Amino acid sequence: MGLVGLVAVLISACDGDTTTDVPNVSKNDGSVDGGAPVGERCSGGLSDAGLYSSTCGAGKVCLAGECAAECMKTDGGFTRTDGKQPKASEKRTFTARGNPISIGRNACTSAGRLVECESDDHCLINDDEGVGPGRARRVGVCSNNKCVPCAEAPSSCSAAGLLCTTGWQALCVECNTSSDCDNGADTCHDHSCSDLCLDRTDCRSGYRCDSNKRSCVPETGAVHVSGCGEPAGGTGTASSPFCSLSRAVATALSDPAKPRVIIVHGAVAGGNISSSIGAALQIEGALTDGEPASIVGGIGSALTITSGRLIVRQLRLTASVQPALFVEGAETTVELSDVLVESNPGGGILINSGKLSARRVTIQNNGKTRTDGTSWSGVRLRGGTSDFNGVRIIGNSGAGLVCDRDDVFRPDRRGYVGVDVTPKNADFDLDSRCGAVTCQERCKLSATPDSGYTYEYCMGWCTASPDFVGAFIPPTND
């Protein structure tokens, strides 16, 4: 429809023709907003600043010398009378999560007036506004055709059976804390109740994280092992733990109906997890007098795995004459979370093949060793693929990170692998073949202050140390 035709339709609607799909705007609505009514002659138009300036008044535009409504509803939403998109000068600044966000006029009223919103769904922003990777995010609730923090319109939340967010006070959400969730297994993640988890800290007291299901389940059925004190005939419960890691592994794998979870208390001798474990086997530590549990390598490695998927959480791998963690096997996967690899004369981590994922892992004060003629100390990646998130390789007696090839590292979504190397390692910190950079370099390259991703925020997670706070164990799992 051309400009003249559109104006003609709008004029005919005001003269009583109700058969066309146009805004229901009377010729006298100028008495409400001021200025000339729709259909009346006008002067003015779009200014150089991108604003409408005319004698038509608010909620109307001057097109082809006549006043017209700003927009018209359609089956798919609405169209602007001028056929254009909202301009920067028409947007209002809204603050969400401490960042200024521009909200445009995203809705059309039945009277043909452009407004910010008619429902909460109109209060969304996208990546190009600098908030949120990969999806639109709600930044407020709709009240009187404006997007406002929910604290200014609390009834919008309660009417829908929701809560107003704490802190930055913008959205109606399902929960602020886990106590807001009705289901005992559920915890509050990003203001939504869910039983999904990454580790024990995501679950309530009395629940643990089942790695196969990635969900919180009641704290029963796990196999317990300690550095002993209990006779060899222990039953593997918290009150009567096994003394041998190999026996705990065999027991955890023996019954498919039970969770494949081993909980380590105190200091336990290391073991070779070489059987085909198939589905994930999880080994995690318990706190004893505030100290994390340890797996001690002795004359061998603390942990050796050659098949399946192994998840290690909130543990210390130490005192190993061989590399503390040895991984081999094309289909082998090892996930480390909140792990401390320290004081191993035979070096920290050696990956021959397979996949390694490390989150909040510190490799420190390990001895200088030599494997196949190559000297290293902290981590050596001979093959496979590895990804790091918050890994510290510090104070080792030889080279910090050594890579035999240039394809063993999987970069994060920003294209960099940041590794903390302060204090420095004795020989060198990062092998150039790894494609890794220091946390300082990584955070300078990727920090974008306008979106809240600052250098300080980046350094906070890049230099994070293992967190053992959530490594609690109920008195018994009988």
Paired residues of 108 in beta bridges: 114
Residues 428-456, mean pLDDT to the nearest whole number? 79
DSSP string, 250-314: HHHHH-TTS--EEEEESEEE-EEE-S---S-EEEEE--BTTB--EEEEETS-SEEE-SSEEEEEE
446 assigned to some structural domain = yes
Whole-angstrom CA distances from 326 to 147, 272, 290, 378 are: 55, 9, 28, 12
229 assigned to some structural domain = yes
DSSP string, 312-357: EEEEEEEEESS-SEEE--TT-EEEEEEEEEE--TT-SEEESSSEEE
Single out the residue of 164, 162, 190, 169 nearest to residue 178, CA to CA: 190
Paired residues of 196 in beta bridges: 215
User: What percent of the chain shows pLDDT beyond 70?
Assistant: 67
User: What percent of the chain shows pLDDT beyond 90?
Assistant: 23
126 assigned to some structural domain = yes
Domain final position from 84, 103, 119: 84
Both 252 and 394 in a single domain? yes
pLDDT at 428: 93
Tell me how long the chain is. Answer: 478
For the stretch 110-130, pLDDT in tens is: 888 888 888 777 776 553 443
331 assigned to some structural domain = yes
pLDDT at 284: 87
> Would you say residue 149 has pLDDT above 60?
yes
More confident call, 99 vs 236: 236
> Would you say residue 231 has pLDDT above 80?
no
Both 157 and 288 in a single domain? no
Q: What is the domain range of residue 345?
A: 221-462
> Would you say residue 384 has pLDDT above 90?
yes
Both 78 and 122 in a single domain? no
Whole-angstrom CA distances from 31 to 35, 58, 109, 293 are: 7, 11, 18, 77
Kindly report the backbone phi and psi dihedral angles of residue 32, in degrees, each rounded to the nearest multiple of 5, phi listed first: -85, -50
Q: What band does 83 get if pLDDT is binned at 50, 70 and 90? A: low
> Would you say residue 219 has pLDDT above 50?
yes
- Given a contact cutoff of 8 angstroms between Cβ atoms, the answer to whether 474 and 200 are in contact is no
Both 65 and 107 in a single domain? no
Please give the Cα distance from 423 to 426 (Å, whole number): 10
> Would you say residue 191 has pLDDT above 50?
yes
Token pair 């259909």 in the structure block, residue: 39
For the domain that residue 311 is a member of, what is the CATH number?
Answer: 2.160.20
More confident call, 141 vs 320: 320
181 assigned to some structural domain = no
- Domain count for the chain, please give it: 3
pLDDT at 380: 97
Both 136 and 225 in a single domain? no
User: By mean pLDDT, which of 123-132, 206-215, 276-285 is the weakest?
Assistant: 123-132
Domain final position from 173, 189, 208: 173
Please give the Cα distance from 172 to 167 (Å, whole number): 12
Domain final position from 133, 150, 173: 173
Mean pLDDT of the chain: 75
Beta-carbon contacts of 478 under 8 Å, excluding residues fewer than 6 positions away, are: 237, 238, 239
Both 318 and 404 in a single domain? yes
Q: What band does 33 get if pLDDT is binned at 50, 70 and 90? A: very low
pTM: 0.60
Both 123 and 260 in a single domain? no
User: By mean pLDDT, which of 122-131, 136-145, 178-187, 253-262 is the weakest?
Assistant: 122-131
pLDDT at 22: 32
More confident call, 184 vs 109: 109
Please give the Cα distance from 345 to 356 (Å, whole number): 22
More confident call, 199 vs 281: 281
Q: Which of 45-49, 270-274, 380-384 has the largest mean confidence?
A: 380-384
Both 457 and 313 in a single domain? yes
Helix (H, G, I), strand (E, B) or coil at 124: strand
Local structure of residue 453 (DSSP, 8 states): B
Range list of H helices, 139-227? 155-158
Single out the residue of 247, 280, 278 nearest to residue 261, CA to CA: 280
367 assigned to some structural domain = yes
pLDDT at 305: 93
> Would you say residue 343 has pLDDT above 90?
yes
Q: What band does 51 get if pLDDT is binned at 50, 70 and 90? A: very low
Both 15 and 122 in a single domain? no
197 assigned to some structural domain = no
pLDDT at 286: 85
Residues 222-236, mean pLDDT to the nearest whole number? 77
Whole-angstrom CA distances from 39 to 6, 23, 25, 31, 117 are: 11, 13, 10, 14, 26
Please give the Cα distance from 30 to 36 (Å, whole number): 5
Residues 292-307, mean pLDDT to the nearest whole number? 93
Residues 205-210, mean pLDDT to the nearest whole number? 70
Both 306 and 448 in a single domain? yes
Token pair 């007036």 in the structure block, residue: 113
Residues 351-379, mean pLDDT to the nearest whole number? 94
More confident call, 136 vs 308: 308
Question: Cis before residue 423, ω within 30 degrees of 0?
Answer: yes
Both 151 and 232 in a single domain? no
pLDDT at 365: 97
393 assigned to some structural domain = yes
Single out the residue of 64, 58, 84 nearest to residue 8, CA to CA: 64
Paired residues of 183 in beta bridges: none
Q: What band does 240 get if pLDDT is binned at 50, 70 and 90? A: confident
pLDDT at 163: 81
Q: What band does 5 get if pLDDT is binned at 50, 70 and 90? A: very low
Residues 348-361, mean pLDDT to the nearest whole number? 93
pLDDT at 349: 98
Token pair 């190559």 in the structure block, residue: 374
More confident call, 211 vs 320: 320
Both 344 and 456 in a single domain? yes
Please give the Cα distance from 197 to 178 (Å, whole number): 13
